């Protein structure tokens, strides 16, 4: 068992082209021994956003704090603490923070070994 606070993991800037003022903390990954899923904590600063992108795997999201929005193609969904988001594989999506406070969320994804099954 591994128990630690998420802030013990350094936040790294998200380097994906088209992303602005977003950091990620990879808190649970295959490097920590997780065979199936990875857990990441994203922080989107005021005015920040991820790129509009898609993946061949699902995402499960839980909004921890702040408000923001997630696009699903052309559709915009408002987010607040406690909101959950399921993103199907191949769905174009983007997280945006048009508000004055930090948007922080948990993102779960299958590890690459699992997504190849």
Catalytic residues: 107
Residue 1 CB partners (closer than 8 Å, separation 6+):
none
Distance CA 37, CA 99 (A): 30
Q: First CA to last CA across the chain, in angstroms?
A: 26
Q: Where are the alpha helices (DSSP H) in 30-115?
A: 112-115
């Amino acid at each position: 068992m591994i128990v630690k606070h998420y802030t013990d993991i350094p936040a790294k800037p998200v380097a994906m082209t088209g992303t602005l003022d977003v950091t990620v903390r990879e808190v649970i990954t295959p490097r920590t021994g997780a065979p199936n899923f990875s857990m990441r904590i994203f922080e989107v600063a005021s005015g920040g956003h991820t790129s509009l992108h898609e993946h061949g795997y699902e995402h499960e999201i839980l909004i921890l704090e702040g408000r923001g929005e997630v696009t699903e193609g052309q559709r915009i969904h408002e987010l607040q603490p406690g909101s959950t988001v399921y993103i199907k594989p191949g769905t174009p999506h983007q997280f945006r923070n048009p508000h004055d406070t930090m948007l922080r969320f948990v993102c779960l994804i299958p590890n690459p070994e699992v997504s190849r099954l």
